[in-house]
């Protein structure tokens, strides 16, 4: 239950107290509104007084008589409009001349109640104006929220793009000033790191494209019966070179002809992310176990590693855009920090879930569950 | 021989550590580093450096600022000067205190929505940061100086000379 401040501006005390009486125990509620609204009635006998009140406390709705002793209602309305107050105004008038109606609507009056009005007429008008006010405020809030999300995304993105540039520029300056030696070989480590950072930027750009395609719904999805066994074989083949370098063994448990109605490219993105993470964040001579099976009308895919694991407090952050956990063990690994958030978004498209178990220094296990569609 | 002065670099980017580290080592400093706030606090405690250089955005958005505030509030570290290193533009002023200027900037429609204001007074060389944290509140704290990324040896070394303990 929340209270709206309703200001009644009328020089006739009888009208003011009448409005007070009718609205005192009145409440407005709609199925689409989260809450019911009641009204706190505030009275003003002149336009001047009304403005004083509006200046000094938050007002949501004004019921405004046009014919007032000093400044008239239209002037109060103009004032509210020029000051851009978030207030809905309803004019009360005994002679609703066309002229006044046009002028008032141009200045943003919500509607009119003719004087004299019955309690029911007043209630209906207040109900409408409340609904309108609620919707207007909700829409604005939603716009602001989405602007905020976009802004945050862009500011994190620009940070992610600047970091590798700063690193590479830093290395190049050192080389230009020949800070650590005369031979190219003295700089080999820096050159390799620069190349690694360029590779990271490239991954970021590709991941970003994937992400925007998924989020905009532009990516054409090609849903058909695909054999997950084939997909996972391909994924393993892509990751294998990195695994061999670090002497990591990838073990697969998946029967042939395991069909799922899905987009092949999306399944590749998901599996590739989990399997490549299981290799990237593993230890030398480690193992990766991939299991895919059908169970209770679902496909369950799990990727388990014997790697560095993830601390409890970091686990909650992982699926957010750009989050990467930085510590001694991960410092040389490059990535965009988008992989898991992309995987999560895709899994969401299938109404699936991702579960995670992880223990620092022991390893991690990610389990993806996708419902089989009919 | 005089003992080498020790500088702690806290940055989640190893390459920034490498670049800055090699510049500082060449200039005769002893360099230690940490990749996040937690490790940073451990190194501060164990090594008690003569100066710290802090990155801002690490695993969390304002990790560097949080570390800075912990340093200011903890008497154990209160005597360790620190710089904030970032690629955000710095606002300069020559009047009033930097904290008052932060208030002024927050009223200005051009700046009031910025998440972070880094302000430096060019007359008396005081500096401070005013930022809106994720909880919606704004915080202010003083800093010795700002350092712009990418690292530039010519600019950073004189600043360090000026402030190192
Ligand atoms: N199997 C794992 N073991 C340990 N840590 C992991 C594992 N998988 C992910 N992480 C942590 O989660 C973070 C986010 O992973 P994510 O896949 O989103 O990004 P990334 O690996 O940095 O980049 P990319 O999108 O290029 O793969 C990683 O930086 C890493 O710290």
Q: What percent of chain A has pLDDT over 90?
A: 53
Are A173 and B16 in contact by the 8 Å Cβ rule? The answer is no
Which structure tokens are listed for A119?
């309690």
> Which of B16, B49, B51, B50 lies closest to B35, judged by CA?
B16
Query: Which neighbouring-strand residues pair with B67?
Result: none
* Of the ranges A16-30, A176-190, A285-299, the best mean pLDDT one: A285-299
Give tens-digit pLDDT for A26-41: 998 877 677 789 999 9
The predicted structure's pLDDT at residue A219: 67
Cα of B116 to nearest chain A Cα, Å = 11
Confidence of residue A20 (pLDDT cuts 50, 70, 90): very high
Q: What 3-state class would DSSP assign to A87?
A: coil
Q: What is the mean pLDDT of residues A100-117?
A: 76
Instruction: Give the C-alpha distances (Å, rounded to integers) separating A262 from A214, A228, A298, A369.
Output: 15, 9, 13, 13
Which structure tokens are listed for B132?
């809106």
Instruction: Give B23's contacts in chain A (Cβ within 8 Å).
Output: 174, 179
DSSP 8-state class, residue B38: H
Residue A314 CA to ligand 1 centre (angstroms): 11
> Which of A289, A296, A286 lies closest to A362, judged by CA?
A286
pLDDT(A96) > 60:
no
Which structure tokens are listed for A26?
């009145």
B155 vs B46 pLDDT, higher one: B46
A155 phi/psi in degrees, rounded to 5 = -70, -35
The predicted structure's pLDDT at residue A154: 80
* Of the ranges A85-89, A166-170, A362-366, the best mean pLDDT one: A362-366
Interface pTM, i.e. ipTM: 0.77
DSSP 8-state class, residue B12: S
Give tens-digit pLDDT for B70-121: 999 999 998 999 999 987 777 877 777 888 888 888 877 777 777 888 888 8
Are B36 and B58 in contact by the 8 Å Cβ rule? The answer is yes
Which pTM was predicted? Answer: 0.68
The mean predicted confidence, pLDDT, of chain A is 89
Buried b / exposed e over A206-225, threshold 16 CB at 10 Å, is ebbebbeebeeeebeeeeee
Q: What 3-state class would DSSP assign to B61?
A: coil
Confidence of residue A216 (pLDDT cuts 50, 70, 90): confident
Q: What is the mean pLDDT of residues A140-147?
A: 83
Confidence of residue A95 (pLDDT cuts 50, 70, 90): low
- CA–CA separation, A273 and A110 (whole Å): 54
The predicted structure's pLDDT at residue A323: 84
Count of alpha carbons within 13 angstroms of residue B17, beta-carbon side: 19
Give tens-digit pLDDT for B43-70: 999 999 999 999 988 888 889 999 999 9
Q: Are A174 and B13 in contact (CB < 8 Å)?
A: no
The predicted structure's pLDDT at residue A161: 86
For A197, nearest residue in chain B (alpha carbons): B15
Burial class (CB in 10 A: 0-12, 13-18, 19+), A117: middle
For A322, nearest residue in chain B (alpha carbons): B59
Strands A363-371 and A353-359: antiparallel
Q: What 3-state class would DSSP assign to A93?
A: strand
Which structure tokens are listed for B99?
């904290």
Instruction: Give A186's contacts in chain B (Cβ within 8 Å).
Output: none
Give tens-digit pLDDT for A263-295: 998 999 999 999 999 999 999 999 999 999 999
Q: Are A174 and B19 in contact (CB < 8 Å)?
A: yes
> Which of B53, B23, B12 lies closest to A163, judged by CA?
B12
Instruction: Give B20's contacts in chain A (Cβ within 8 Å).
Output: 170
pLDDT(A146) > 90:
no
Q: What percent of chain B has pLDDT over 70?
A: 99
Helix orientation angle between B37-47 and B63-73, rounded to the nearest 10 degrees: 30
Q: Are A166 and B115 in contact (CB < 8 Å)?
A: no
The predicted structure's pLDDT at residue A98: 65
Instruction: Give the C-alpha distances (Å, rounded to integers) separating A80 from A5, A54, A61, A62.
Output: 15, 9, 11, 10
Q: What is the mean pLDDT of residues A210-225?
A: 81
Dihedral of CA atoms A241, A237, A354, A205 in degrees, nearest 10, equals 70
* Stated length of chain B: 165
């Amino acid at each position: 239950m929340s209270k709206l401040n309703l200001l009644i501006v009328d020089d006739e005390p009888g009208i003011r107290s009448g409005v007070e009486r009718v609205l005192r125990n009145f409440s407005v509620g709609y199925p689409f509104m989260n809450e019911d609204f009641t009204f706190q009635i505030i009275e003003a006998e002149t336009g001047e007084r009304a403005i004083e009140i509006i200046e000094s406390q938050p007002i949501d709705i004004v019921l405004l008589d046009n014919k007032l002793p000093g400044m008239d209602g239209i002037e109060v309305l103009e004032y509210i409009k020029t000051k851009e107050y978030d207030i809905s105004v309803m004019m009360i008038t005994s002679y609703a001349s066309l002229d006044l109606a046009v002028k008032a609507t141009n200045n943003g009056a919500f509607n009119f109640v003719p004087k004299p009005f019955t309690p029911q007429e007043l209630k209906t008008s207040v109900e409408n104006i409340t609904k309108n006010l609620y919707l207007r405020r909700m829409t604005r809030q939603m716009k602001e929220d989405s602007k905020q999300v976009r802004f945050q995304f862009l500011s994190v993105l620009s940070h992610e793009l600047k970091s590798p540039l700063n690193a590479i520029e830093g290395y190049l300056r050192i080389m230009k000033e020949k800070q650590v030696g005369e031979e190219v070989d003295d700089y080999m480590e820096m050159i390799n790191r620069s190349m690694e950072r360029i590779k990271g930027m490239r991954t970021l750009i590709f991941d970003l494209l994937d992400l925007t395609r998924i989020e905009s719904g532009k990516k054409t999805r090609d849903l058909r019966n695909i054999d997950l066994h084939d997909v996972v074989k391909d994924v393993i083949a892509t990751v294998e070179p990195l695994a061999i370098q670090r002497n990591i063994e990838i073990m697969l448990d998946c029967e042939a002809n395991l069909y799922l109605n899905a987009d092949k490219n999306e399944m590749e993105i998901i599996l590739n992310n989990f399997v490549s993470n299981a290799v990237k964040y593993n230890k030398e001579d480690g193992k990766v176990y991939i299991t895919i099976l059908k169970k209770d009308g679902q496909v369950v895919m799990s990727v388990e590693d014997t790697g560095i694991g993830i601390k409890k407090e970091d686990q909650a952050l992982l699926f957010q855009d750009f989050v990467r956990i930085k510590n001694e063990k991960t410092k040389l690994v490059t990535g965009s920090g988008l992989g898991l958030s992309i995987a999560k978004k895709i899994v969401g498209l299938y109404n699936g879930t991702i579960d995670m178990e992880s223990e620092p220094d022991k390893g991690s296990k990610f389990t993806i569950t996708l419902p089989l569609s009919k | 021989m005089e003992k080498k002065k020790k500088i702690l670099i806290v940055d989640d980017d190893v390459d920034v550590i490498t670049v800055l580290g090699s510049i500082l080592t060449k200039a005769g400093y002893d360099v230690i580093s940490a990749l996040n706030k937690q490790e940073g606090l451990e190194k501060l405690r164990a090594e008690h450096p003569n100066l710290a250089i802090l990155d801002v955005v690490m695993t969390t958005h304002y990790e560097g600022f949080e570390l800075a505030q912990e340093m200011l509030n903890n008497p154990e570290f209160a005597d360790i000067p620190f710089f904030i290193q970032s690629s955000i533009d710095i606002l300069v002023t020559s009047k009033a205190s930097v904290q008052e200027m932060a208030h002024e900037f927050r009223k200005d429609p051009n700046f009031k929505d910025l998440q972070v204001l880094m302000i430096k007074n060019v007359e008396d060389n005081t500096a401070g940061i005013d930022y809106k944290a994720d909880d919606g509140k704004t915080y202010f704290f003083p800093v010795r100086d700002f350092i712009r990324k990418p690292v530039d040896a010519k600019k950073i070394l004189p600043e360090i000379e000026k402030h190192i303990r």
